[in-house]
Chains A and B, each alone.
Chain A
Amino acid sequence: MRKRGFIGVLVLLGLTWAQQSVTLVGAGATFPYPLVAKYADAYVRLTGGKVRINYQSIGSGGGIRQFLEQTVHFGASDAPLDDQRMKEIRGRFKTNALNIGYALGAVVPTYNLPGVQEPLRFTGQVLANIFLGKIKTWNDPAIQELNPGVKLPPLPITVVHRSDGSGTTYVWADYLSKVSPEWAQKVGRGTSLAWPVGVGAKGNEGVAGVVRQTPGALGYVELTYAKQNGLAYGAVQNKAGRFVLADLASIKAAANVPLPGDMRVSLTNTAAPEGYPIASFTYLLLYEELSANKAVASEEEARALVQFVNWILTEGQRYNESLNYGALSPVAQQRALALLSRVTYKGKSIGKEIVNR
């Protein structure tokens, strides 16, 4: 009892201190981190410092966890919540979770091979075998066969994977599971995996960092991380049999599939002939009834949060493409706004109010 009183006093003190500005705390995926950091930077300027977004890229697994622990205003993940977790949330908090997609990204196999200029070609099978530890060196016939004319060095392949729970990992493993039965059976899909080989690095940043530092490394990162850092990345064979390099056009092409109303959809290995096979939406996680989230302390905060997400889905979209994330198609944008307008705070439908303004 005393403990609770003490905490109450602390919270009151904090509230009086924090009146001037609203800070929205988000945590999750490192995949869209450069983008969300850009949104946050632009939004704090736009609101003249009134609303500040503190987004920590701790990995999608962390985003989901902290969302469930209700330590954050919004979570972020590249993997949508699965059915079981949606049900769990309904049971525990008596409200729904919303998976609001706001950008498209691609996971690319990135490598560090001194002397190799042209982008390498990979098939899903070869990538799976490398990550299973069955292909060990760069000059392996399986890789050479896909890349005639490239002089591959005899370097050992350093597989670099994520050490933290990650939606990027989920997307990557989702793809490998679809193309390699062996992968599906031995490793499977998830935000954290029991990796057969390789070294682990924390975050997309960490994987890109290790690949950059390590000749012979092969890792998987979000396209932006490869682009921003001048890392080489390979073309991957899609379902139609073409080798496709990830870029805005091929990511958007991959996303050209029927979209369910709750936006929870896998975009890996889609049938689109021009589509890049390892693409994904990246999601913000919100509670439909925001007062169910302990982190949302007031209606003011709830409104600020919905306004921010609304801004991302509309004006904020213009930042997507300059950072190599696909902007939402008109259909996807409609779906996302429809989801956002379901948001309520203590029964007040603030979502509808803000979206329709």
Chain B
Amino acid sequence: MRWLYTHFGDRIFAFILLLLATGVMALALLMAYELYRGGSPVLHGFGLLGFALDTQWDPVRGKFGAWPYILGTLIVSLSALFLSFFPALATAIFVAEYAPKWLAQIINFLLDLMAAVPSVVYGLWGIFVLAPWLRDKVQLPLYFWASEHAPALLPLLGVPTGYGLMSAILILASMVVPYTAALARDAIALVPKEHREAAYALGATHWEVLRLAILPLARGGILAGAFLALGRAVGETMAVTMVIGNSHKLPYTIFGGAATMPSVIANEFTEAVEDLHLSALIAVGFLLFLVAMLVNFTAAYVLRRQERLVKGAL
């Protein structure tokens, strides 16, 4: 009886855990498999590269190329990352180094909040506040100025609608701040205090301590945070769909509409009539899966190297 209770119980318990955990792993593999299988008519028909690099997305003629969406995703997420990086880094430095404890707590709370605000709420604000403001106060004046003084710029600017790349990038930039900021903050806090003290002992100012002793060691964490933010930006769907203007006509312009991989899935998935169209959308999902995986693996790799670096420095 006792043997049953301990030995057998442990076996059963571990088995149940294993079974459920296998479910988790199966979920990830199933996602990859189902996306591949659903997209395979298109992926086989056009080839993975052919599909990814073709610029034509024409449901009427049954031609599907994902390049406009890949390009849109790259432009939007990289620009958003670039825009958000310095504010996020500043926030991390401010929290970890300058802010008094009470203020740091508030900022940490706000960072959590920022990550928790649903993306549809950002999108709502984008539609009713940001897009009209950008159009009236930024895009139209610029457009009129350019049409008088520098008509060469017009094709680059595009039609000032408010809905387009510019709005999407700005919204997305403010949404991914907490991911970079949180990891950068933790990385800065993890830097061994001996480094800090050594730098102070040499008579360095606070900024010099940061620049010479802390930021170099925290570099990996900051970078990992940036990659994590990039991962979020790549996959963000609703807020982007609501303000990006949903046009896949290349070339993209700064003010004009564009589209990303998640936005085209959100827009067309329930509505695709032809099987090939649906398959193309799932294939876009498969590409998105690959991109997200690549970005996240890079982040994990950078973070692991950082951890080793800090340990080595001790």
Contacts and interface: CB of A to CB of B under 8 A. Distances in A.
The short answer to whether A and B are in direct contact, CB under 8 Å, is: yes
Interface of A: 27, 58-59, 61-62, 64-66, 68, 156-159, 163-166, 187-202, 209-210, 213-217
A199 B268 contact: no
Contact of A192 (B161, B247, B259, B268): B268
B57 A157 contact: no
Q: Specify which of A68, A163, A194, A214 lies most central, judged by the most chain B CB atoms within 10 Å of its CB.
A: A163
Given A199-B247, A201-B246, A192 B131 contact: no
B131 A194 contact: no
Interface in B118-139: 127, 131-132, 135
Contact of A202 (B131, B267, B278): B267
Given A165-B271, A198-B257, A217 B57 contact: no
Contacts of B57: 194
Contacts, number: 110
Contact of A213 (B56, B131, B259, B267): B131
B72 interface: no
A192 B135 contact: no
Given A192-B277, A194-B56, A213-B131, A199 B271 contact: no
B58 interface: yes
Given A68-B273, A158-B159, A194-B60, 7 more contacts: A64-B273, A156-B143, A188-B61, A192-B272, A199-B163, A210-B161, A213-B162
A191 B273 contact: yes
Nearest to A157: B159
Q: Specify which of B58, B245, B246 lies most central, judged by the most chain A CB atoms within 10 Å of its CB.
A: B246
Contacts of A165: 59, 268, 271-273
B249 interface: yes
Contacts of B178: none
A163 B256 CA distance: 14
Given A163-B267, A199-B247, A200-B245, A65 B272 contact: yes
Nearest to A187: B60
B247 A198 contact: yes
B60 A192 contact: yes
A58 B247 contact: no
B221 interface: no
Interface string B21-38: 000000000000000000
A216 to B, nearest CB: 8
A201 B257 CA distance: 10
Contacts of B262: none
Contact of B249 (A188, A190, A197, A215): A197
Contacts of A189: 60
A194 B162 contact: no
B238 to A, nearest CB: 11
B162 to A, nearest CB: 6
Given A195-B249, A199-B257, A213-B127, A190 B271 contact: no
B231 interface: no
B270 A214 contact: no
Contacts of A215: 135
Contacts of B161: 158, 199, 210, 214, 217
Contacts of B257: 198-200
Contacts of A188: 60-61
A198 B161 CA distance: 10
B220 interface: no
Interface string B56-91: 111111000000000000000000000000000000
Given A189-B60, A210-B163, A200 B246 contact: yes
A193 B143 contact: no
Contacts of A157: 159
29 contacts: A61-B268, A61-B273, A64-B273, A158-B160, A159-B159, A163-B246, A163-B247, A163-B268, A164-B270, A165-B59, A165-B273, A166-B271, A188-B60, A190-B59, A190-B60, A192-B60, A192-B277, A193-B58, A195-B249, A197-B247, A197-B249, A199-B163, A199-B256, A201-B246, A202-B267, A214-B161, A214-B162, A215-B135, A216-B159
Interface of A is mostly: loop
A202 B246 contact: yes
Contacts of B246: 163, 199-202
Given A165-B272, A213-B132, A194 B58 contact: yes
Given A193-B60, A198-B247, A213-B132, A164 B162 contact: no
A104 B99 CA distance: 65
B163 A194 contact: no
A217 B160 CA distance: 10
A61 B271 contact: yes
B285 interface: no
B39 interface: no
Nearest to A217: B161
B270 A66 contact: yes
A91 to B, nearest CB: 14
A83 to B, nearest CB: 15
B99 to A, nearest CB: 39
Given A195-B249, A199-B245, A58 B60 contact: no
Contact of A196 (B132, B245, B249, B259): B249
A60 B226 CA distance: 41
Contacts of A192: 59-60, 268, 271-273, 277
A295 to B, nearest CB: 15
B225 interface: no
Contacts of B247: 163, 195, 197-200
Interface in B239-269: 241, 245-247, 249, 256-257, 259, 267-268
Nearest to A214: B161
A197 B258 CA distance: 11
A123 B35 CA distance: 45
Nearest to A156: B159
